[in-house]
Amino acid sequence: QGCLRRKTVLKEGRRPAVSSWLRYWVELRGTSLVFYSPKSLRAKERSDFKRQPCKQSSVAGWLVVPCAEDADSFQLLDPARGSRYKFRPGSGGCSAHDWCSYLRVSAARLPNAI
């Protein structure tokens, strides 16, 4: 778990008209990524984020790709929907390499094998 910034690269096969970096607190639970919205723009610690999750996505069957041009970023690809998201970890938490390792294990699991 940790603070991540997320940017939508493709959503259902299409580039969004506007794509900005959004900050979330993200927890990996089994095969699901659980997102928590920030209470303020400067949120970095868990207490700076809301208690209730705002999104949850299963990553079972997704592809995890480290970014070659940016060692501090990685991408998650949903081949079923044609969506692609770029993530950048905040300082002081898990590195992009660590996130990739954990996500690869979760993405390889079956959804009901939690």
| Domain residue extents for the chain | 2-108
Q: In the structure, what pLDDT confidence band is assigned to residue 110 with cuts at 50, 70 and 90?
A: low
Q: Compute CA distances 26 → 8, 79, 80, whole Å.
A: 16, 21, 22
Does the pLDDT value for residue 93 go beyond 80?
A: no
Residue 31, pLDDT above cutoff 70? yes
What's 2-108's CATH class?
A: mainly beta
Beta carbons of 20 and 95 less than 8 angstroms apart? no
d(CA 74, CA 66) in angstroms, rounded, equals: 4
Question: Which DSSP helix (H) or strand (E) runs through 102?
Answer: helix 96-108
What's the confidence (pLDDT) of residue 114? 46
Residue 41's pLDDT band, with cuts at 50, 70 and 90, is confident
Question: What is the C-alpha to C-alpha distance for residues 25 and 53, in angstroms, rounded to an integer?
Answer: 9
